[in-house]
């Protein structure tokens, strides 16, 4: 509604008597006496309020409403625009401009609440005078006489306690507000501010909840029913009682008919219209809680929790809902399979990242978010075991002194470590002698990687991990190359994704873009990759990890396209991993128990987790073209340092 012209075509002839029908039958007050008292009271109150405006110096400054932004619900969507959840504090609200609110609803609300809205200057002397008489007859505050402007300032500034002084304050503030805002601005603010029941604040969330449509498209019947809610939203809610809702709807339509804002035919048709209810949406959960909870944590860290709950942000995630559901279903399927093998209490986490953008494409924090919201993909730090070894070998390659075919000897060795001696051993307990690094990683030999780690320096290995985004506490101890630290599946997937992108890295994120409710961009996570690793060394470690899949411990992860990866198994079988990649997608899968007890004797990443990775990747890459990795020969080998 852009101006009062919206109502002029159907504006009624003002009838003084119509405002007093509710007083019929009041004891000893005659019609003439009542009219005289009302006119006198109206004059006194109107004049008194103007005078009081000077003395009410401690009231709020309504000028701040020029820059007022009501608390508004934040909405989170998938990458294609599918709504995943809404996040809000006390007020579930989506603000819409006045021209996107149905004229039916604007007329219905004004007919019900303030039919003289476009005529008065904040207070309606006739309405106030009528309220004075009613309250005098009743011996207490029974009638409010509030205009829409008065209701707005009450909602924004004043307590809900019924008192004469509060009523005077409402009038003073209403007069002030009408001096700084237009009628349309006040009506827009009111319609977006008012409470409609079931934690719906503002017309848009209410329309979507009650009728599953935008406020822009509300019919006359729906609008009248909504307008009837304002006085007692939960009581007159059609979700609570359709009978009472229809009753108030009829009263609003009757008022509109009496005002000549609708004709008899429109009145009759509106009453006959079938009301198709939506559903209460304010308290429903998330469609993809592992995603939306992670988003909420990122937003709270970036903007603060207050802005998250009240800032009305529109958040586009990096995740396709269908893809995420496929990932979750894969995890549930393999959880049941492992239970069938006697692996009780197993949990599975999965993270998939596009290495070209570092956008998270799937993030599964456990087998069932309904029973446990703990996100093992982002919050659980578990030992990576042998899946840590590529970080050591990359560090060696980056020095320029080593390459995939450099020889390392797998033989008994001991190290002074702290107050004692450390005697590392291989998983099979034996030794294989001299071998190239390619073979050492493919067979996941422990002693060779410790020797290489010692040769290049454990502090250099830690520097590599920090560059890759692994921030867990690390000490340059002899066992570090065997993964004796805590990492999250997200950290592992992101680190391998940087290898797969030949050293180019962007911060991993589940958020693509954030705007406010007006479309202004608050956060744009368009990838801005930086080269953080040596490209030759990155391509070399990918090339070596391809051997893991073709002839090493990761054979169970082989798919019908080039892939690279690494198994991981801790010595006590508490944490079992497979982390692997193709040029377009990097995925980390972890299996373990929340109580950190042994999962199963002799469990391995190659035997237990690689098949899960394979199953997921085959589904994920179903319509994705096959790509080859770039060989190390396409890059310049670093000079020895």
Rg, the chain, Cα only: 35
| Residue 164 backbone class (left: φ over 0; alpha: ψ -120 to 50; beta: rest) | alpha
The two tokens of residue 257 are 């008919």
Residue in the structure block whose two tokens are 């079988």: 573
Candidates 409, 363, 369; CA nearest to 286 is: 369
How far apart, in whole angstroms, are the C-alpha atoms of residue 449 and residue 606? Answer: 19
Task: Specify the DSSP class assigned to residue 195.
Answer: B
Tokens 């359709």 map to which residue? 242
Contact present, 582 and 561 (Cβ < 8 Å): yes
6 close to 103: Cβ distance less than 8 angstroms: yes
H-helix segments, 56-93:
none
Spatial CB neighbours of 317, under 8 Å, sequence gap ≥ 6? 76, 77, 78, 79, 84, 291, 295, 510, 511, 512
Q: Which of 42, 209, 386, 494 is catalytic?
A: 386
Q: CA 172 to CA 190: how far, in whole Å?
A: 17
- What is each CA distance from 174 to 17, 112, 170, 202, 392, in whole angstroms? 25, 19, 6, 20, 71
Query: Whole-angstrom Cα distance, residue 212 to residue 33?
Result: 50
Tell me the three state secondary structure of residue 92.
Answer: strand
The structure tokens listed for 108 are: 């219905």
For the CA atoms of 95, 100, 105, 107, what is the dihedral angle to 10 degrees?
A: 120
Q: Is 508 left (phi over 0), alpha (psi -120 to 50) or beta?
A: beta
Phi/psi at 107 (nearest 5 deg)?
-65, -40
Kindly provide the residue ranges of all beta strands, DSSP E only, lying in 389-539, ordered along the sequence.
407-410, 415-417, 420-422, 433-436, 504-505, 511-515, 521-524, 530-531
What are the phi and psi torsion angles at 278 (to 5°)?
-85, -135
113: annotated active-site residue: yes
Residues 6+ apart with CB under 8 A from 512: 79, 316, 317, 318, 359, 525, 526
- Establish whether 386 is a catalytic residue: yes
Alpha-carbon gap, residue 573 to 584, rounded angstroms: 31
The residue from 72, 94, 113, 170 that is catalytic is 113
Structural tokens at position 19: 């405002």
Active site positions, annotated: 113, 386
């Amino acid at each position: 509604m852009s101006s009062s012209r919206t109502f002029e075509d159907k504006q009624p002839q003002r009838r003084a008597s119509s405002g007093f029908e509710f007083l019929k039958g009041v004891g000893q007050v005659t019609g003439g006496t009542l009219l005289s008292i009302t006119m006198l009271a109206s004059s006194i109150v109107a004049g008194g309020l103007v005078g009081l405006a000077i003395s009410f110096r401690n009231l709020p400054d309504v000028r701040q409403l020029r820059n007022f932004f009501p608390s508004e619900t934040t909405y989170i969507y998938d990458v294609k625009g599918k709504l995943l959840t809404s996040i809000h504090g006390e007020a579930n609200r989506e603000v819409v401009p006045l021209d996107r609110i149905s004229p039916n609803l604007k007329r219905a609300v004004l007919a019900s609440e303030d039919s003289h809205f476009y005529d008065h200057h904040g207070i309606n002397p006739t309405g106030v005078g009528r309220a004075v008489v009613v309250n005098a007859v009743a011996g207490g505050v029974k009638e409010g006489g509030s205009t829409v402007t008065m209701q707005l300032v009450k909602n924004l500034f004043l307590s809900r306690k019924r008192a004469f002084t509060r009523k005077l304050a409402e009038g003073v503030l209403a007069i002030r507000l009408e001096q700084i805002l237009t009628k349309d601005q006040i009506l827009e603010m009111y319609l977006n501010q008012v409470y409609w029941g079931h934690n719906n604040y503002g017309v848009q969330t209410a329309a979507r909840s009650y009728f599953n449509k935008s406020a822009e498209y509300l019919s006359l019947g729906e609008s009248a029913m909504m307008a009837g809610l304002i006085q007692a939203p939960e009581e007159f809610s059609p979700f609570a009682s359709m009978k009472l809702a229809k009753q108030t709807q009829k009263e609003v339509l009757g008022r509109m008919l009496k005002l000549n804002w609708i004709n008899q035919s429109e009145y009759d048709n509106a009453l006959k219209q079938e009301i198709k209810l939506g559903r209460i949406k304010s308290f429903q959960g998330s469609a993809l809680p592992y995603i939306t909870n992670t988003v909420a944590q990122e937003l709270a860290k970036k903007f603060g929790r207050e802005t998250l709950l009240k800032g009305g942000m529109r958040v586009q995630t990096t995740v396709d809902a269908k893809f995420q559901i496929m990932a979750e279903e894969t995890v549930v399927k393999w959880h049941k399979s492992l239970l069938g093998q006697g692996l009780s209490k197993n949990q599975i986490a999965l993270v998939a990242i596009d290495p070209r953008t570092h956008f998270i494409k799937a993030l599964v924090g456990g087998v069932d978010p309904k029973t446990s919201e703990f996100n093992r993909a982002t919050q659980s730090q578990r030992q990576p075991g042998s899946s840590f070894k590529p970080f050591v070998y990359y560090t060696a390659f980056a020095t320029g002194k080593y390459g995939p075919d450099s020889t390392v000897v797998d033989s008994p060795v001991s190290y002074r470590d702290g107050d004692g001696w450390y005697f590392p051993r291989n998983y099979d307990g034996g030794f294989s002698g001299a071998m190239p690094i390619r073979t050492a990683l493919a067979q996941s030999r422990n002693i060779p990687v410790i020797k290489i780690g010692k040769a290049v320096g454990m502090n250099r290995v830690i520097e590599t991990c920090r560059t890759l985004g692994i921030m867990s506490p690390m000490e340059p101890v002899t066992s570090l190359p065997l993964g004796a630290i805590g990492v999250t599946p997200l950290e592992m997937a992101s680190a391998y994704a940087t290898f797969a992108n030949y050293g180019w890295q962007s911060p991993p994120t589940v958020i693509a873009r954030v705007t406010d409710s007006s479309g202004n961009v608050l956060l744009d996570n368009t990838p801005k990759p930086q080269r953080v690793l040596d490209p030759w060394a990155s391509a070399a470690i990918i090339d070596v990890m391809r051997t893991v899949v073709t002839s090493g411990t990761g054979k169970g992860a082989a798919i019908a396209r080039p892939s690279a990866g690494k198994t991981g198994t801790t010595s006590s079988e508490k944490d079992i991993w497979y982390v692997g990649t193709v040029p377009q997608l990097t995925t980390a899968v972890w299996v373990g128990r929340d109580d950190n007890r042994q999962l199963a004797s002799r469990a391995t990443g190659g035997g237990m987790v690689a098949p899960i990775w394979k199953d997921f990747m085959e589904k994920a890459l179903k319509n994705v073209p096959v790509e080859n990795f770039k060989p190390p020969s396409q890059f310049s080998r670093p000079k020895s340092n």
